[in-house]
Structure 1
């Protein structure tokens, strides 16, 4: 989450990005264009694509599925791996 309003990340295989993010409480929303690569990586789950909401938690973006369960998380450290 960048100061200029852009959102960018990597889930261990694919990259994603968006525009115009906002943080209200611990809920992250985007209102602009969202993009993602669709690489065919072995062993990478599709958890990120199943997310219906995201929550910001002390440097970690937590993805939640339609049933309310946490699907995975993305870390802010560029050297850290995503897990899901």
Structure 2
């Protein structure tokens, strides 16, 4: 059975809001098909384009989570964001 880091579950859920984008689909596929043990392992598997795309998406998603006062989502998404940059 696959286990996935809870932070990556939040990321996968956020990416589902951008299903029409090719990079979003690519990243979502990685999360779906690979068994990452940590956020760092996931980030190391991203290419430069995917990282740039996540930079934009995560900033938007973190801002949204802050606006609706979803502190857990903010924390989880920031964990990935901080590893990328």
What TM-score results when the alignment is normalised by the length of structure 2?
Answer: 0.29
- Larger relative helix fraction: 2
- Normalized against structure 1, the TM-score is what? 0.29
